[in-house]
Structure 1
Amino acid sequence: MEGHRMGFADDHLIPLVDQGLGNSAYLVDLGDGRALAVDASRDLRALKAAAARRDLTVAFAADTHLHADFLSGAVQLAHDDGAEILASAAGRRTFGHRGLADGDEVDLGGLTLRALATPGHTDEHLSFLLHDGGRELGVFTGGSMIVNSAARTDLLGADRTEELARAQYRSIQRLITLPDATAVWPTHGAGSFCSAVRGNERTSTIGGQKQTNPLLAAADEDAFVKQLVAGLGSYPDYFDRLGEANRRGPTVLSATPLLPALEAGQVKALLADGAQVVDVRPAADYAAGHIPGSLSIPLRGQFATWLGWLLPDTDPVVFVTGDGQDLAEIVWQSYKIGYERLAGRLAGGMAAWLADGNPQTTTAFLTPGHAAGRPYVDVRQDAEFTAGHVPDALNIELGALAAAAADAPEGAVVACAHGERGMTAASVLERAGHTDIAVLDGGAADYVQAHGQQLIQGTGDTSS
């Protein structure tokens, strides 16, 4: 049995990791030219490339829950490949799908997918057990049990956090009754804000989780709930919108949406009409000169997270790009979290903006040795700050900074781990009226080394 399962995992299961959002989708080769997709994102580029390499058609698209951190690609797969959408009947989705309840089974053609009700992360959450006759090959656990943790239970409101944490306990207790050799294939993983506790591994086995998942070592349900809730940090604002968006289903796209080139005059007109400018160039390029009032979000894996955290999805967005940046990446990272009002990009970049006689703003980007004497504002997540920070640092998480801009001292140096979030923070503060903000080119460890200090652990009295 073990050899069969491992052979299946090696040959037929294709994990598709979104490093930026910290999630995994899965493509299962069913062996007959058809495939099962599980928790596919609206950005289907990697999944479709993997299917094309094996000449597969996606026949089934299963979603474990109404995701809070990305739009589902299931509706698009139904349109493109004729996939049958498999999802919880309790989710009340408004588009065509096969609604499943606890214990329902779907014949995949030799393999069987069994729905297991595992509420906790969300009310309607299902896990999907993949089995071959009497052999449990693996379980797609979505946001129930994830590697060495469990997904957060506060997405439906603080008043339901404990109730859902208790449901999460019961769901995980159910999952660990599966055979130890059963593979665990979660959706949420390292880097996902849906995870209650951060980790590095993305897949495991039931037996492995019995040995290493600290939540399974909790003495009882009360201890589990206390431990799980204590690990809950902040999460992006857009999470609150996507559950309903996935219940309705995203708009089907006929092609990759375009990002039109805009002249400087068009950009000014859009700004006057309420558009937002997002500068996706590297932090150093933004520091050297940018459109006043623009928001710096460097194009990298975490771009979608910060776009969805810091801007509404209702305003048109104009992008400032640098040479060679991938325009399709901008579009798909935006669309996968429901940001579709993309007005375009500034043609010719900042050179064209300046040539049109428009002003720019610069931001000091300081090495650790040149940042002394300024108040130090650390914009990392609370858990990062607690793990080690500069003495006397003020911690204001980036996601909370716009609302707390008045708490940031004028003339501060803002810092994160490397500089990208720090530059985003500086742009947020500049938009709020701060005029003498600098950014640390580096992180806390670099700063204390340059100034003969040591990192401080714990929250102290400086964490906001």
Structure 2
Amino acid sequence: MGFADDYLIPLVDEGLGNSAYLVDLGDGRALAVDASRDLRTLHASATRRGLRVAFAADTHLHADFLSGAVQLGHDHGAAVLASAAGRRAFEHRGLVDGDEVDLGGLTLRALATPGHTDEHLSFLLLDGDRPLGAFTGGSLIVNSAARTDLLGAERTEELARAQYRSLRRLTRLPDETAVWPTHGAGSFCSAPPGTERTTTIGAEKRANPLLAAPDEDAFVARLIASLGSYPAYFDRLAELNRRGPAVLTAVPLLPALEAEQVRALLADGGHVVDVRPAARYAAVHIPGSLSIPLRDQFATWLGWLLPGDARIAFVTDEDQDLPEVVWQAYKIGYERLAGRLSGGMAAWQEAGLPTSATAFVTPDQAPAAPYVDVRQAAEYAAGHVPGALHLELGALAAHAAEVPHGAVVACGHGERAMTAASVLERAGHSGLTVLNGGPGDYAAAQGRHLTEGDAR
């Protein structure tokens, strides 16, 4: 058993593809690193071990979730540790390269590692002079490095070159040093393949394809070539984190709304988000509502498809986890939650209000119609139906006019495709069919084979 087994508690957010860390300091106190605003799991872990969070460290101004550091300061009296260059507008200890924080037996050393963001710090955890591990945030991650285009296309190459230097600095640590990144598989800040979320310096030197680049120019070219699209809400969260998220003094709730209240909100420019499974939405839904099934990826698509100031009412099934809906929204800055439709769709129908339905079919039932693939570009390139029209879900609203009438809308399984159909229906499309399955299933039903390569 090593330090990580006994004292380090990874807290993985599968939906956003990120890891926070809780470090048991051995004296009833703990260090939290890159905690999100949804602190349910962290609080539960700390309570089980009888820990008070004494320190909350953030590696950078996160773009994909609201930081929980301010809340930990309120709830636990935690000292917030973060880069002085981030100019955070709330009480914190601003650190610069080489600064050290005495954790009581262990030491946390700040290492300037710009690239993912300008003010990015990694935190080296030391036992005396011996490095135990490095919290590398969005710098060195498993088999990759985090994206460098979040501050605009004009700075992408500059930050990629900074990322190169930061990774080279980290690889000078001893090979046995553990690497504890924040971003991992599933994160739009990095999205490397694989399931491993932690690594070591030695393992990355052997296996990370970016570190295998022969020189800086090759590194930059490889990193930039790996960049895909990212959710729209990323463009606003860094500034919200700089200002500091509002402290929550009570658990946010979803009030019950009558059908007429939901209708009025929609008519007044609000949004209705239906979180039921895709098949339930397909059978009957409120016209103009947006289908985002409640699952790990719910927050990503909420933040990609709705404006940050959206007033939202939810349609749920009675057995769905309402706190999960609320926390996924709150952790990315959506707080104008009007409530949920009391009684669900049955109440809406009993009120005599209009409804819609969307065809949801298996591959063998799909009509002969244009095939629209709404997956990410990398997924599409790895294998798609020949002749498919490729429009990523995140960009679909801006390209709705390009979708042929009566198209078959598809993704990898069906959830994103149902979301896409709801986006298209809001834009005036009708007669759409959503595929309950993926491109391989569809091609097999048609007696065809997938093709590879980027969209033309």
Counterpart amino acid of residue 48 in structure 1: H
| Deviation digits for residues 65-84 of structure 1 (CA, Å, limit 9, x no counterpart) | 00010000000000000000
CA–CA separation in structure 2 for the residues paired with 1:256 and 1:413:
41
Deviation of the 1:460 alpha carbon: 4.9
What's the TM-score once normalised by structure 1's chain length?
0.97
Show the counterpart of 1:3.
none
Matched ranges for 1:2-401 at <5 A: 7-195=2-190, 197-401=192-396
CA contact (8 A) 2:114 2:162 kept: yes
CA–CA separation in structure 2 for the residues paired with 1:39 and 1:393:
40
Summarize the Cα distance change of 1:460–1:63 in structure 2 as closer, same or farther, 3 Å threshold. Answer: closer
RMSD value, Cα: 0.8
CA contact (8 A) 2:142 2:192 kept: no
Deviation of the 1:366 alpha carbon: 0.9
CA contact (8 A) 2:186 2:192 kept: no
Deviation of the 1:200 alpha carbon: 2.4
Deviation of the 1:196 alpha carbon: 5.8
Secondary structure of 2:364's partner? helix
Counterpart amino acid of residue 345 in structure 1: R
CA contact (8 A) 1:197 1:231 kept: no
**Runs of 4+ that moved beyond 3 A:** 196-199
Counterpart amino acid of residue 257 in structure 2: L
Deviation of the 1:199 alpha carbon: 3.6
Show the counterpart of 1:449.
444
> What is the number of residues matched between the two proteins?
456
CA–CA separation in structure 1 for the residues paired with 2:7 and 2:33:
13
Summarize the Cα distance change of 1:15–1:290 in structure 2 as closer, same or farther, 3 Å threshold. Answer: same
| Deviation digits for residues 47-82 of structure 1 (CA, Å, limit 9, x no counterpart) | 000001100000000000000100000000000000
Q: Which runs of 5+ in 1 are unaligned?
A: 1-5
CA–CA separation in structure 2 for the residues paired with 1:400 and 1:200:
28
Deviation of the 1:372 alpha carbon: 3.7
Counterpart amino acid of residue 97 in structure 2: D
Identity %: 77
CA contact (8 A) 1:313 1:341 kept: no
| Deviation digits for residues 86-118 of structure 1 (CA, Å, limit 9, x no counterpart) | 000000000000000000000000000000000
CA contact (8 A) 2:273 2:312 kept: yes
CA–CA separation in structure 2 for the residues paired with 1:196 and 1:325:
28
Deviation of the 1:450 alpha carbon: 1.2
1:422 partnered with 2:412:
no
Summarize the Cα distance change of 1:65–1:360 in structure 2 as closer, same or farther, 3 Å threshold. Answer: same
Deviation of the 1:315 alpha carbon: 2.0
